[in-house]
């Protein structure tokens, strides 16, 4: 039997397990579970609730098309900026919410931690601000915009101060247990006169 999917609305997804790992000021949230067919996309997005620390929603949506009715496992990872002093991240899903303990990155996430912190060969100057952005669709524009949004608001230290954004590193992560398929862009902001 097959199902014709026409609804593209995002809804809370069911999960079997959710884990979280910290690398500097970023947290990798990894969700695993089953979808009713292979015709579903999964995403993790920040909740629209104005709350501190931010909370996140595990979502799924049907893709258009005809798909077999067979339970399909998924594993999805999303990198989000998250306050460094918070040991737990809250993720809402179809069965409620989980308060997920944030663990340190182990050896199996070493490349993720290096992507976020940056290669020692490509440092950001002392006193400058840096951020890393990610794109699961391998879009430089999307990863660059994501990195820009990760910088603190620009507060000019004097009138007509100009900020300079430099791309320090572009790379990609593929595979691993989080199922990476991400382009990353690490940027550095300096202020000139």
pLDDT score, position 19:
96
Q: CA–CA distance from 50 to each of 66, 78, 167 (Å)?
A: 38, 20, 31
Convert the pLDDT of each residue in 116-142 to its tens digit.
888 788 888 888 899 999 999 999 999
Residue 77 shares a structural domain with residue 138 = no
Determine the length of the chain.
193
Residue 39 tokens, joined: 């015709």
Residue 190 has pLDDT above 80, yes or no: yes
Give every CB contact of residue 11 below 8 A, 6+ residues apart in sequence.
Answer: 59, 60, 61, 94
Rounded Cα distance between 1 and 77, Å, is 31
- 124 and 66 co-located in one domain: no
What percent of the chain stands above pLDDT 70? Answer: 96
Residues 11 and 85 in one domain: yes
Instruction: Kindly report, residue by residue over 61-78, the tens digit of the pLDDT.
Output: 998 888 888 888 999 999
On whether both 68 and 125 belong to a single domain, the answer is no
Instruction: Please state the rounded mean pLDDT for residues 136-165.
Output: 90
The dihedral over CA atoms of 104, 82, 154, 131, expressed in degrees to the nearest 10, equals 40
**Cis before 53 (ω within 30):** yes
- Residue scoring higher pLDDT (174 or 179): 174
Q: Are 92 and 7 members of one domain?
A: yes
Tens-digit pLDDT profile for residues 1-48: 444 445 579 999 999 999 999 998 899 999 999 998 888 999 999 999
The reply to whether 91 and 60 lie within a common domain is yes
- Boundary residue ending a domain (104, 136, 165): 104
As for how many domains the chain has, the answer is 2
For 50, the domain range is 2-104
| Domain limit, last residue, from 65, 82, 104 | 104
Whole-angstrom distance, CA of residue 67 vs CA of residue 162: 53
Residues 74 and 56 in one domain: yes
Share the mean pLDDT of the chain: 90
- DSSP symbol at 36: S
Residue 193 confidence (pLDDT) above 50: yes
Residues 79 and 122 both lie in one domain:
no
Residue indicated by tokens 């306050």: 83
Same domain, 96 and 144: no
> Tell me, what's the pLDDT at 5?
46
């Amino acid at each position: 039997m097959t199902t014709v999917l026409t609804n593209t609305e995002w809804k809370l997804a069911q999960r079997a397990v959710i884990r979280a790992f910290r690398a500097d000021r970023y947290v990798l949230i990894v969700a695993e579970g089953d979808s009713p067919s292979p015709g579903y996309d999964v995403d993790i997005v920040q909740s629209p609730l104005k709350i501190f620390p931010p909370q996140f929603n595990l979502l799924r949506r049907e893709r258009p098309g005809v798909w077999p009715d067979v339970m399909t496992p998924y594993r999805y990872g999303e990198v989000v900026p998250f306050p460094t002093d918070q040991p737990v991240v809250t993720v809402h899903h179809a069965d409620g919410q989980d308060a997920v303990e944030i663990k340190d990155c182990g050896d199996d996430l070493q490349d993720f931690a290096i992507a976020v912190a940056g290669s020692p060969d490509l440092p950001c100057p002392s006193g400058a601000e840096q951020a890393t952005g990610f794109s699961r669709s391998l879009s430089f524009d999307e990863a660059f915009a994501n990195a820009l949004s990760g910088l603190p608001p620009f507060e000019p230290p004097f009138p007509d101060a100009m900020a300079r954004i430099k791309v320090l590193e572009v790379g990609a992560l593929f595979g691993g247990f989080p199922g990476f398929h991400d382009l990353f862009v690490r940027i550095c902001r300096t202020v000139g006169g």
